[in-house]
């Protein structure tokens, strides 16, 4: 998945820059200034189209009954809370932005997911069309406008064509089965509720269940299993959490990269806390991808590293220091229920 995302970004950038360079050559206006201008426009318009894409999800979500939970571009984030909008910081490797919303009440066969999922692509295409129309009315197509239009089209296409883990694939999966629409609703609903401080234990049990006959292999079902694991952790039932983690770990090669790393991190924590296999814990801790994610300043990462230091390395002082660092990151965590859960698990680690 990581290779797919990086390849996708490179394809978009390469295609747009290649198109811009072709236009420069055709115009006969190739010089250092024009090349630098093209590079700057490429970077600036890429960011603009990411913002437009997420704004599209927000606008079309609002039009179909959703309400804002959080809006993120790179690591800058705005979260809707009981006290209004608050700024947070969250880095999620492999994602450039995300607009998460609370869904309207679920009605079988009438769940409005299509416009919400397509909203980002619609906005990219619409922005490109508006700029193209202005250029057509003006009677010329400047290089700057060409880059903006090409980026919008390419970003839109790479998001709507079903591949890997994108809007198009999510749309395709939900379109096919009512059970997947329910799972999609459950994801949105659980995120919205926990963001407002509702704990996993306080949520209805049916939200955590896999649909009858579901093999748990697609990323909708993988997410459901991850949430089952979170519920077990909230209950401090680490044996049950590891049982679910074992199921996911057996199929780790089929998990999308983001889930695979998160499952590896929580496995590291569970192996350490349950003290069942220190050698496996060491091997997971040594994985480059896990080390890269654990280096990100988040409460969960500090808690997992603390468990490793305490139970595998036997260094309580370092574990205490890591937990203190984790508590210091509380203000940046966008999910209120996860803050409570992280504090609870750190308390268990340190015997508080």
What is the CA angle 75-253-295, rounded to 5?
Answer: 35
Burial class (CB in 10 A: 0-12, 13-18, 19+), 304: buried
User: How far is 56 from 117, CA to CA, in rounded Å?
Assistant: 9
- pLDDT of 91 reads 78
How far apart, in Å, are the Cα atoms of 184 and each of 20, 219, 223, 252, 307? 39, 10, 10, 22, 33
- Alpha helix segments (H runs only) across the chain: 2-27, 32-63, 114-138, 143-160, 167-176, 178-195, 219-234, 238-250, 257-274, 278-285, 288-294, 299-307, 316-328, 336-350
Return the bridge partners of 97, or none: 73
For residues 111, 116, 121, 125, the Cα torsion angle rounded to the nearest 10 degrees is 100
- Residues contacting residue 234 through CB under 8 Å, at least 6 positions apart: 199, 200, 201, 341, 344
Report which of residues 135 and 266 the model is more confident about.
266
Give the burial string for 262-286 (b: 16+ CB within 10 Å, else e): bbbbbbbbbbbbeeeeeeebeebbe
pLDDT for 27 beyond 70 = no
Q: Taking residues 84-103, what's their average pLDDT?
A: 86
Residue whose C-alpha is closest to residue 120's, from 161, 74, 167, 78: 167
- pLDDT of 84 reads 87
- pLDDT of 106 reads 96
Q: Where is average pLDDT lowest: 39-53, 104-118, 177-191? A: 39-53
Q: What is this structure's pTM?
A: 0.88
User: How far is 248 from 263, CA to CA, in rounded Å?
Assistant: 7
User: How far is 157 from 9, CA to CA, in rounded Å?
Assistant: 12
Q: Taking residues 156-184, what's their average pLDDT?
A: 91
Q: Taking residues 57-74, what's their average pLDDT?
A: 96
Report which of residues 189 and 255 the model is more confident about.
189
Q: Where is average pLDDT lowest: 15-29, 63-77, 338-352? A: 15-29
- pLDDT of 1 reads 40
Tell me the two tokens of residue 168: 């198009």
Is the sign of the CA dihedral 298, 299, 300, 303 positive or negative? positive
- pLDDT of 4 reads 45
Average pLDDT of every residue of the chain: 88
User: How far is 91 from 73, CA to CA, in rounded Å?
Assistant: 10
User: How far is 209 from 200, CA to CA, in rounded Å?
Assistant: 13
For residue 3, name the pLDDT band (cuts at 50, 70, 90). Answer: very low
- pLDDT of 6 reads 44
- pLDDT of 32 reads 74
For residue 19, name the pLDDT band (cuts at 50, 70, 90). Answer: low
User: How far is 103 from 180, CA to CA, in rounded Å?
Assistant: 15
User: How far is 177 from 111, CA to CA, in rounded Å?
Assistant: 12
- pLDDT of 340 reads 95
Q: Taking residues 192-208, what's their average pLDDT?
A: 95
Give the Cβ contact number of residue 178 at 10 Å.
Answer: 12
- pLDDT of 271 reads 95
Q: Taking residues 92-108, what's their average pLDDT?
A: 89
- pLDDT of 252 reads 87
Give pLDDT tens digits for 153-164: 989 998 998 888
Q: Where is average pLDDT lowest: 140-144, 181-185, 311-315? A: 140-144
Residue whose C-alpha is closest to residue 180's, from 211, 217, 207: 211
Give the Cβ contact number of residue 120 at 10 Å.
Answer: 28
Q: Taking residues 206-218, what's their average pLDDT?
A: 86
């Amino acid at each position: 998945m990581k290779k797919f995302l990086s390849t996708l970004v490179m394809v978009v950038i390469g295609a747009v820059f290649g198109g811009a360079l072709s236009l420069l050559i055709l115009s006969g206006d190739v010089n250092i200034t024009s090349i630098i201008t093209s590079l700057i426009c490429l970077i600036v318009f890429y960011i603009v189209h990411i913002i437009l894409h997420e704004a599209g999800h927000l606008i079309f979500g609002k039009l179909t009954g959703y309400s804002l939970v959080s809006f993120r571009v790179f690591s800058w984030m705005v979260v809707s809370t009981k006290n209004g909008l608050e700024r947070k910081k969250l880095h999620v490797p492999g994602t450039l932005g995300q607009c998460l919303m609370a869904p309207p009440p679920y009605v079988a066969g009438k769940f409005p997911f299509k416009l919400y999922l397509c909203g980002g692509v619609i906005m990219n295409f619409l922005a490109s069309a508006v700029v193209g129309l202005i250029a057509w009315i003006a009677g010329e197509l400047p290089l700057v406008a060409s880059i903006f239009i090409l980026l919008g089209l390419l970003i839109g296409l790479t998001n709507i064509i079903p591949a890997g883990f994108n809007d198009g694939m999510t749309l395709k999966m939900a379109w096919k089965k009512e059970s997947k629409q329910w799972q999609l609703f459950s994801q949105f609903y659980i995120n919205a509720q926990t963001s407002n401080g509702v704990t996993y234990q306080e949520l209805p049990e049916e939200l955590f269940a896999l649909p009858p006959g579901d093999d748990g292999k697609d990323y909708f079902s993988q997410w459901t299993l991850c949430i089952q694991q979170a519920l077990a952790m909230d209950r401090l039932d680490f044996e049950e959490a590891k049982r679910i983690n074992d199921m996911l770990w057996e199929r780790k090669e089929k998990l999308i990269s983001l889930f695979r790393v998160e499952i590896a991190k929580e496995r590291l924590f569970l192996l350490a806390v349950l003290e069942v296999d220190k050698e496996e814990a060491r091997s997971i801790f040594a994985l480059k991808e896990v080390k890269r994610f654990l280096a990100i300043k988040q409460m969960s990462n500090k808690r997992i590293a603390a468990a490793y230091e305490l139970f595998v390395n036997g260094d309580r002082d370092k574990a205490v220091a890591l937990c203190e660092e984790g508590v210091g990151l509380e203000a940046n965590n966008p999910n209120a229920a996860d803050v409570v859960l992280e504090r609870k698990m750190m308390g268990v680690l340190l015997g508080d």
